[in-house]
């Protein structure tokens, strides 16, 4: 039995996942500590307990979380032993889920706009794009593609995904996103 009675402690990772969603949807600047307090149910002081550096600290934690998540869920599976088309297909399914079928913004795009976000956080989200292109490119090369062609097609795929996200949300038409994923998949095979 616990010595003291307190509201259920929230783990840092649980908070970070909430922050991830807040930041990608609202952008770093528009999200206030009050918003974060509401979304997490934690008081401001509790937030500073978890993130002594305040919002910049939170942004870095979110960027690190996103990078680790992408590595685990998207980049590492691209290295598996299954056939290339299965791996690309799995990646596109993960992409679709992550962006909620085209309705949810990308953290990378949201964070890159913010001039007040910590340089470390921005550097991390930018690195995710480079990692992503590299991961797809490596899969294509392992399947026999030339280095230059692999890189070119991998870059085009990430461009199509990011662009479709912007255009689908602007047009309010998630079909644009799903169609773009299909086309991108074909171009990779």
The answer for residues whose C-beta is within 8 angstroms of residue 62's C-beta and 6 or more apart is: 16, 19, 20, 23, 107, 121
Contact window for a second copy (CB under 8 A) among 4-12, 24-32, 54-62, 70-78: 24-32
Give, in degrees to the nearest 5, the angle at Cα 136 between 134 and 138: 65
Residue 61 in contact with DNA, rule: CB under 7 A:
no
Residue 169 in contact with a second copy, rule: CB under 8 A:
yes
Could you tell me how many residues make up the chain?
A: 189
Q: How far is the CB of 1 from DNA (least distance, A)?
A: 17
Q: How far is the CB of 166 from a second copy (least distance, A)?
A: 4
Q: Which is nearer to DNA, 10 or 156 (CB)?
A: 10
Q: How far is the CB of 34 from a second copy (least distance, A)?
A: 13
Please identify which residue in 21, 26, 27, 33 interacts with DNA, judged by CB under 7 A.
33
Q: Which is nearer to a second copy, 15 or 111 (CB)?
A: 111
Chain centre distance of CA 185:
19
Q: Could you tell me the maximum CA-CA distance found in the chain, to the nearest angstrom? A: 64
Residue 170 in contact with a second copy, rule: CB under 8 A:
yes
With beta carbons less than 8 A apart as the criterion, state whether 148 and 131 touch. Answer: no
Residue 101 in contact with a second copy, rule: CB under 8 A:
no
Quick one: what does residue 164 bind among a second copy, DNA, none, with the CB cut-off 5 to 8 Å set by partner type?
a second copy
The half-sphere exposure of 131 on its side-chain side, counting CA atoms within 13 A, is 19
Chain centre distance of CA 1:
39
With beta carbons less than 8 A apart as the criterion, state whether 95 and 88 touch. Answer: no
List residues binding DNA (CB under 7 A). Answer: 4, 6-10, 31-34, 41-46, 48-50, 52, 54-56
């Amino acid at each position: 039995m616990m010595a003291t009675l307190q509201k259920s402690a929230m783990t840092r990772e649980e908070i970070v996942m909430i922050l991830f969603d807040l930041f990608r949807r609202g952008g770093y600047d528009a999200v206030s500590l009050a918003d974060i307090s509401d979304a997490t149910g934690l008081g401001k002081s509790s937030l500073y307990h978890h993130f002594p550096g305040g919002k910049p600290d939170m942004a870095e934690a979110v960027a690190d979380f996103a990078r680790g998540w992408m590595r685990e869920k998207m980049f590492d599976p691209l290295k598996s032993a299954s056939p290339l088309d299965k791996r690309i297909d799995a990646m596109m399914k993960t992409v679709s889920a992550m962006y909620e079928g085209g309705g949810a913004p990308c953290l990378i795009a949201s964070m890159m706009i913010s001039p007040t976000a910590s340089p470390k956080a921005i550097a991390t989200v930018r690195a995710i794009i480079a990692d992503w292109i590299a991961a797809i490119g490596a899969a294509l090369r392992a399947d026999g593609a030339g280095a230059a062609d692999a890189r070119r097609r991998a870059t085009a795929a990430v461009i199509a995904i990011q662009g479709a996200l912007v255009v689908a949300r602007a047009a309010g038409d998630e079909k644009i996103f799903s169609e773009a994923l299909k086309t991108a998949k074909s171009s990779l095979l």
